[in-house]
Amino acid sequence: MQKLRVGVMRGGLGSEYHVSLRTGGNVLSALPSDKYEPHDILITNAGEWHIDGRPTSPAKLAQHVDIVFNALHGEFGEDGKVQKVLELFNIPYTGSTAMPSAIGMNKDLAKKYFSSVGIKVPRGLVVSRGEEVSEVVARVGSEIKAPYVVKPLSGGSSVGISLAHTDRELVYAIERALAYSEKAMIEEYVSGREVTIGVVDSSSGVGSYATPPLEILLPIGKLFEYDQKYRNLTHPVGPARMSDVERRALEESALRAHAHLGARHYARYDFILTEEGPCLLEVNTLPGLTDTSLLMKSLALNGLTLPEFVDYVLTLALRKK
């Protein structure tokens, strides 16, 4: 039987380049060798394309691969841009299509999208580079109460995120977030337990299912930041402690968000569990598949390994799901 040629796309243009290298490397190693012929597609930070160490271009990819496993994160890979490139050359790929990716990547647009179907989201506002900082601080103070969570409008892996309690901390947090993005999101700090839950499309082609939720075990007032996700040897994450009622509400919100967004194959949704119910923080339409990634920890609770998951996602993509 002829093996399917799978190009694993990794690297990329943004701040999550190194995380993507790890995700892509894991996927390459996990491809079942009896079914797939792996090919390493590297996009450098300079935007150069390579396949198996040789320079290439998007137009030539179809000569070498039958399908692309999109292991990019953040800018270009997760914002709909690379999806449009692959569609232009009729190359099937894993993950969400261009429009859901673009919406999910823009935190303000995603919040409005989810809020429109009754999903609770944090109150917040957007600031841009070039705005007068003193005016921004005054506007924030008049609309939401401290403490504030400040993060780049586009991006993932908690890059550039800060918690600000005072005006001075708010100024620093805004400047830090704007170093990673043209715009920043300033949100109210929502108190409660932070949980994350994956959503994976059904093999039947109808509907999706939720993976076991994980709880981020951090002290009150602390954020789950980049270093804790990818550089620490120990991770404050465990199976979520919740009642059946809380679990049903969480799963319902995640599944509704996934369906309304039109996300495809798999995604991860981050929530705060409050006394009033789950509050959706953001969606990650291409969550990491590294050894420490939250989605992989969640899938492991169901006994699913990375080779099994990679094979499953490729099967979904080949069915045009």
- Arithmetic mean of pLDDT over the chain: 91
pLDDT for the residue 70: 98
Helix or strand (DSSP H, E) at 54: strand 54-56
Distance of CA 155 to the CA centre of its chain: 8
When pLDDT is averaged across residues 164-192 and rounded to a whole number, the result is 93
Contact present, 143 and 123 (Cβ < 8 Å): yes
User: Which amino acid appears at position 57 of this protein?
Assistant: S
- Tell me the per-residue pLDDT of 11-65, one tens digit each, with 9 for 90 and over: 998 888 999 999 999 999 999 999 999 999 999 999 999 999 999 999 999 999 9
Instruction: Please indicate whether residue 134 is annotated as part of the active site.
Output: no
At the topology level, CATH places domain 124-188 in Dna Ligase; domain 1 (3.30.1490)
When pLDDT is averaged across residues 126-139 and rounded to a whole number, the result is 92
Q: Which of 96, 157, 158, 162 is catalytic?
A: 157
When pLDDT is averaged across residues 70-95 and rounded to a whole number, the result is 96
Q: Which of 54-58, 156-160, 237-241, 290-294 has the highest mean pLDDT?
A: 54-58
Q: Is 270 annotated as a binding residue?
A: yes
Instruction: Please indicate whether residue 142 is annotated as part of the active site.
Output: no
Classify 62 as helix, strand or coil: coil
Per-residue tokens: 44? 């450098």
**Which part of the chain is CATH 3.30.1490.20?**
124-188
**Ramachandran area for residue 75 (φ above 0: left; ψ -120 to 50: alpha; else beta):** beta
What CA–CA distance (Å, rounded) separates 136 from 224?
A: 25
Contact present, 102 and 39 (Cβ < 8 Å): no
Query: HSE-up of 59 (CA within 13 Å, CB side)?
Result: 0
**Which part of the chain is CATH 3.40.50.20?**
4-93
Instruction: Give the homologous superfamily in CATH for domain 102-120+192-318.
Output: ATP-grasp fold, B domain (3.30.470.20)
Please tell me whether the peptide bond between 147 and the residue prior to it is cis, using omega within 30 degrees of 0: yes
When pLDDT is averaged across residues 260-285 and rounded to a whole number, the result is 96
Q: Which of 15, 16, 78, 188 is catalytic?
A: 16
What CA–CA distance (Å, rounded) separates 134 from 148?
A: 16
At the topology level, CATH places domain 4-93 in Rossmann fold (3.40.50)
Q: Which of 81-90, 154-163, 230-239 has the highest mean pLDDT?
A: 81-90
Q: Is 311 annotated as a binding residue?
A: no
When pLDDT is averaged across residues 247-256 and rounded to a whole number, the result is 98
- Tell me the per-residue pLDDT of 191-244, one tens digit each, with 9 for 90 and over: 999 999 999 999 987 889 999 999 998 655 555 444 444 444 445 788 998 999
Instruction: Please indicate whether residue 154 is annotated as part of the active site.
Output: no
Classify 121 as helix, strand or coil: coil
What CA–CA distance (Å, rounded) separates 94 from 264?
A: 8
pLDDT for the residue 253: 98
Q: Is 45 annotated as a binding residue?
A: no
Q: What is the 3-state secondary structure (H, E, C) of 220-274?
A: CCCCCCHHHHHCCCCCCEEECCCCHHHHHHHHHHHHHHHHHHCCCCEEEEEEEEE
pLDDT for the residue 230: 43
Contact present, 70 and 94 (Cβ < 8 Å): yes
Q: Which of 96, 181, 293, 298 is catalytic?
A: 293
The packing angle between helices 98-105 and 244-261, to 10°, is 120
Rounded to 5°, angle at Cα 158 from 114 and 7: 85
* pLDDT band at residue 160 using 50, 70 and 90 as cut-offs: confident
Per-residue tokens: 149? 């969570």
Model confidence, pTM: 0.91
**Which part of the chain is CATH 3.30.470.20?**
102-120+192-318
When pLDDT is averaged across residues 111-126 and rounded to a whole number, the result is 96
Q: DSSP string covering 135-160, please?
A: HHHHHHHHHSPSSEEEEESB--TTTT
